[in-house]
Structure 1
Amino acid sequence: MKKKIWFILPLVILLIAVFVAPIVQKKDSCQKNVVTKHTASAKQLVTTRKKAKSAKLKHADPTAHWTSLTSPVKIPILMYHSISDKPGNSLCIPPEQFANQIKWLKQNHYYMLTPTQAYLVLKTNKVPSKKIVWVTLDDGYLNNYTAVYPVIKQLNSKVTINMITGFSQNQGMLTLQDLKTMKKSGLVTISSHTVHHEELNTLTAEQQKQELVASKAWLDSNLKQNTNMICYPVGRYNDATAILASQAGYKLGLTTTPGFASASQGLFALHRLRVTPGMSNYSFSHLASTY
């Protein structure tokens, strides 16, 4: 009897090793996987919370790290139109001149504002940098895509194009696809220059409202944005314009009145500085400098 037991015992041990050990090993492996997954989830949760907190702080106050000024801020808003070689046309700046001027701004450490940033500068009297400038191009000529866009992409600079929305299908003007491409880069802001480029001070209040509202609606719908700046055609406006522009949802209005822009002018009557053909870098430096 004892011999039979000793003969069977090794077989029992072998069976236990074959069938029980893998089950235990599998259980241990499952426990390790659970621990690993919990650890990974915990790390991911911490990372997500940090990103959320950072985003919240960033959106809470975009001017948090800007510098407060003791005197009223002045913004040089540069005014361009067509970037093309057309001697004798004061609205046409040669492409080489435009490229050299953007390079000069970059080399001299100018911070190029967007309309939203310009609004915050004027409202808070705080600046993101000692040297600021706002580069604007009126009308929406096709050369803003062919001559301007490559330059600002190369230099990582920002500009604002004031588009006549009713001209988007006209020959020689920017198409909707051009506008979408440039906006997507994050370097170009598209703002309103009304629908038909009529001088607003010659229109009735209802006609002005139509030009202001319809152009903003076209930009907002097609570019998925909230357009906050209107540039008056030929710089013309009257007492009703600012009220109507504000009611339409704009926060800023640009004129062609020469000079630096300041809050004292009123946010819907901001002055600009015209860039002319053949302007030297020396003259341009004085144009852009507020100090």
Structure 2
Amino acid sequence: MNKGYKKIILMVCIVLMVGLVGYKLFNDRKVKSENQLTNDQNTSANKKSNQEEKNKEQTNANKDKSTEVKKEREFKEGKLKYNDISVPVLMYHSIDYEKGNELRVPKEKFKEQMQYLKDNDYTTLTLDELYSFLVNNKPIPEKSVVITFDDGYEDNYSNAYPILKEFGFNATIFVITNAIDNEKPFITSAQLKEMEQNGIDIESHTLAHDELNKLPYDKQVETLKGAREFIEKKLNKKVKYIAYPFGKWNNDTIKALKETGYDMAFTTVGGWSNKSQGIYTLHRVYVSANYDMNEFKRRLTNPKYNVSHNKSNNN
């Protein structure tokens, strides 16, 4: 074999070896890159899964907390009464001072009234508990009271809410949903969420403080349904109760309430609530800034105080 031929064979062998080494290095890098990508994807997926699990746990915890707050109590001790007896449902609006405006009860007067309830062992009922009492004859403490606020003023959060928390009281705010986050002096959705999680029930006062008895049936359905859906979406809760703006309603209103999923409704007719009035036309005890403590006590302790709220002020 001549020398030229040997050189050719040697060069071919060298080229093949270089090619094999290069292929191996390229393949190793590719495998490593693919493995790294797979590991990164797995790590990302695990992180996402862990975060989703944490979010789910937090959501469940919030739901559990809400459920705990809203759970109806079983009253078995002490003097009880049943649903043939009336219950005072206090009706407030704004908790603040404004000269000449009887709807605005000063914070100091409101606290004095709440202190009286506390000192005299009153139980503040939720609306679920009142409903069970009136409809299902579930017993409640003899000295029971319901606290409600109409419209949803910001001072319900800044002035009333801290006092209610201090005494551990339940209460309900009937809100005008179109005013939330949009108008002063009305409340915000963030404030509503905080209160809803701490014993304050948020219910409907229609979309725009509508005089329901002046609306055709389809418009009544629209405002009742719209307000309910707004609150349910904002607070992740079921809305079942309403207070009529201006205390106004008609037969169409009750029909519309049933169609849109409401279970109980309140007027502004002065008096204690009882089942004989009808579950959609319950009375309430108006609380004016002009009343002294003696008048407050009289309305709270006498189911036949027979002082009606002047309809010109029915808000």
Relative to the length of structure 1, the TM-score reads 0.76
Given that residues 81 and 140 in structure 2 are in contact (C-alpha distance below 8 angstroms), is that contact kept between their aligned partners in structure 1?
no
Q: 1:176 is matched with which residue? A: 189
**Inter-partner Cα distance in structure 1 for 2:167 and 2:76:** 24
Decide which of 240, 243, 246 is 1:228's aligned counterpart: 240
AA in 1 matched with 2:193: K
Q: 2:143 is matched with which residue? A: 131
> Do residues 65 (structure 1) and 86 (structure 2) align?
no
Tell me the SS of whatever aligns to 1:277. coil
Deviation at 1:63, TM superposition (A): 4.7
Q: 1:18 is matched with which residue? A: none
**Inter-partner Cα distance in structure 1 for 2:113 and 2:272:** 18
> Do residues 281 (structure 1) and 293 (structure 2) align?
yes
Decide which of 251, 259, 273 is 1:261's aligned counterpart: 273
Decide which of 109, 113, 133 is 1:121's aligned counterpart: 133
Given that residues 163 and 193 in structure 1 are in contact (C-alpha distance below 8 angstroms), is that contact kept between their aligned partners in structure 2?
yes
Structural mapping, 1:137-176, within 5 Å: 137-168=149-180, 169-176=182-189
AA in 2 matched with 1:138: D
Deviation at 1:70, TM superposition (A): 6.4
Deviation at 1:166, TM superposition (A): 0.6
Structure 1, unmatched stretches of 5+, are 1-54
Offset from partner CA, 1:191-220 (integer Å, 9 cap, x none): 100000010000000000001001000111
Q: What is the aligned length?
A: 232
> Do residues 190 (structure 1) and 198 (structure 2) align?
no
Q: 2:35 is matched with which residue? A: none
> Do residues 105 (structure 1) and 117 (structure 2) align?
yes
Decide which of 207, 211, 218 is 2:230's aligned counterpart: 218
Deviation at 1:125, TM superposition (A): 3.2
Tell me the SS of whatever aligns to 2:141. coil
Given that residues 136 and 160 in structure 1 are in contact (C-alpha distance below 8 angstroms), is that contact kept between their aligned partners in structure 2?
yes
**Inter-partner Cα distance in structure 1 for 2:82 and 2:187:** 41
Offset from partner CA, 1:57-89 (integer Å, 9 cap, x none): xx8x95573776467120101110011111211
Answer with 69-78 or 96-105: which moved more: 69-78
Deviation at 1:275, TM superposition (A): 0.4
Q: 1:258 to 1:64 in 2, by over 3 A?
A: closer
AA in 1 matched with 2:203: S
**Inter-partner Cα distance in structure 2 for 1:218 and 1:183:** 14
Offset from partner CA, 1:117-154 (integer Å, 9 cap, x none): 11011113343211011110000000001100110111
Q: 1:184 to 1:208 in 2, by over 3 A?
A: same
Q: 2:96 is matched with which residue? A: 84
Tell me the SS of whatever aligns to 1:194. coil
Relative to the length of structure 2, the TM-score reads 0.70
Q: Which has the larger radius of gyration?
A: 2
Over the matched positions of the two proteins, sequence identity in percent amounts to 32
**Inter-partner Cα distance in structure 2 for 1:116 and 1:71:** 14
Given that residues 175 and 204 in structure 2 are in contact (C-alpha distance below 8 angstroms), is that contact kept between their aligned partners in structure 1?
yes
Tell me the SS of whatever aligns to 2:191. helix
**Inter-partner Cα distance in structure 2 for 1:68 and 1:158:** 19
Q: 2:53 is matched with which residue? A: none
> Do residues 201 (structure 1) and 213 (structure 2) align?
yes
Q: 1:248 is matched with which residue? A: 260
